[in-house]
């Protein structure tokens, strides 16, 4: 069974204090690893998809990296508006390269950035 | 280009009533997924549909829950005889038609918050 574990559960940072969020995963065959941001009362907002170990993607102050067992979301010089819950999810690969469709999510990391 | 639309945004039902949640995917998307987020828990997959077909319902409770995605109109998640434990946020996501070389990203709607009294 696919599993995703995110750490820490909650992270408090001062504005400008860089840090990283961790996502450890177990999946039979990885088709994609996804990062989403979720604000209170809203739906998850897509950030990144990573497909293979060694891949990196960046967007503004965020950078996502992937190894064979985990992914990191690095936040550089965060601002209060970066405060949100960050969700990691995996999608498994089926024989033939197609996907099972469903995403398996971690519990999320609640990030709070203080001014 | 409008995103994934869900309605109603909030739904209050009494125990034993039926709840119908609607989801209109993004334009051009033919795959729909439903997820449930219970209080203090993560998002859990429920069902994956394409037009007129249920592809994977491995996450659906065996009783009282059903889903459809008709040829015309929105996808519907139906919960019969609701109980208090059904109170949760229900999210719909959609993705484009599958292309072998392109991993399909799922885009989420704003959710329907169901409260069962």
| pLDDT tens, residue by residue, B64-88 | 999 999 999 999 999 999 999 999 9
Cβ–Cβ contact B58 with A under 8 A: yes
Q: Give the C-alpha separation, A54 to A50, whole Å.
A: 9
pLDDT over threshold 80, residue B105? yes
Quick check: B110 contacting A, CB < 8 Å?
A: yes
d(CA B114, CA B89): 6
Model pLDDT, residue B9: 97
pLDDT of the residue at A94: 73
Closest by CA to B30, choosing from B104, B91, B103, B90, is B104
Q: How far is A102 from chain B (nearest CA, A)?
A: 6
Residue ranges with strand state E in A1-115: 3-7, 10-14, 19-26, 30-38, 45-50, 56-59, 62-66, 70-75, 84-92, 104-105, 109-114
HSE, side-chain direction, 13 A CA sphere, residue B108: 28
Look at residue B38 and tell me whether its pLDDT is greater than 60. yes
Asked whether the predicted pLDDT for residue B1 surpasses 70, the reply is: no
- CA-based nearest distance A93→chain B, Å: 10
Query: Is the Cβ of B98 closer than 8 Å to some Cβ of chain A?
Result: yes
Q: In a 10 Å sphere around its CB, with 0-12 CB exposed, 13-18 middle and 19+ buried, how is residue B25 labelled?
A: buried
Q: Which residue has the tokens 């990062």?
A: A35
CA angle, A39 as apex, A35 and A41 as ends, to 5°?
125
- Rounded to an integer, what distance in angstroms lies between the CA atom of residue B31 and that of residue B50? 5
Query: What pLDDT shows up at residue B99?
Result: 60
* C-alpha torsion B74→B79→B84→B85, nearest 10: -90
pLDDT for B101 equals 47
Contact B42 A45 (CB under 8 A): no
pLDDT string in tens for chain A (115-residue length):
899 999 999 999 999 999 999 999 999 888 899 999 999 999 999 999 999 999 999 999 999 999 999 999 999 999 999 999 999 999 988 766 566 789 999 999 999 999 9
| Residue B102 clears pLDDT 60, i.e. is over it | no
Please answer yes or no on whether B111 and A43 come within 8 Å at the CB atom. Answer: yes
pLDDT mean over B22-49: 93
Q: Of B111, B112, B90, B81, which is closest to residue B15 (Cα–Cα)?
A: B81
**Mean local confidence (pLDDT), B15-24:** 98
B43 and A105 within 8 Å at the Cβ level: the answer is yes
**Integer Cα distance of B116 and B16 in angstroms:** 9
At residue B30, the pLDDT reads 87
């Amino acid at each position: 069974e696919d599993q995703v574990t995110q750490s820490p559960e909650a992270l408090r940072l001062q504005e400008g204090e860089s840090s990283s969020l961790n996502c450890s995963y177990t999946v039979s065959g990885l088709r994609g690893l996804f990062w989403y941001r979720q604000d209170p009362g809203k739906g998850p907002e897509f950030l990144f998809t990573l497909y293979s170990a060694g891949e990196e993607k960046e967007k503004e102050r965020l950078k996502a990296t992937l190894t064979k067992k985990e992914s990191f979301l690095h936040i550089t010089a965060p601002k209060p508006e970066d405060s949100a819950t960050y969700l990691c999810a995996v999608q498994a690969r089926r024989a033939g390269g197609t996907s099972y469709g469903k995403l398996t999510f971690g519990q999320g990391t609640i990030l709070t950035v203080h001014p | 280009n409008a995103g994934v639309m869900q309605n109603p945004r909030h739904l209050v039902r009494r125990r034993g009533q039926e709840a119908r949640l609607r989801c209109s995917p993004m334009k051009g998307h033919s795959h729909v997924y439903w997820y449930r987020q219970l209080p203090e828990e993560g998002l859990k997959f429920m069902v994956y549909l394409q037009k007129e077909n249920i592809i994977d319902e491995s996450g659906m409770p065996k009783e009282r829950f059903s889903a459809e995605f008709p040829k015309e109109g929105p996808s519907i998640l139906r919960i019969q005889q609701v109980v208090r434990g059904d109170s949760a946020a229900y999210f719909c996501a959609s993705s484009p038609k599958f292309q072998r070389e392109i991993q399909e990203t799922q885009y989420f709607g704003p959710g329907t918050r169901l409260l069962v009294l």
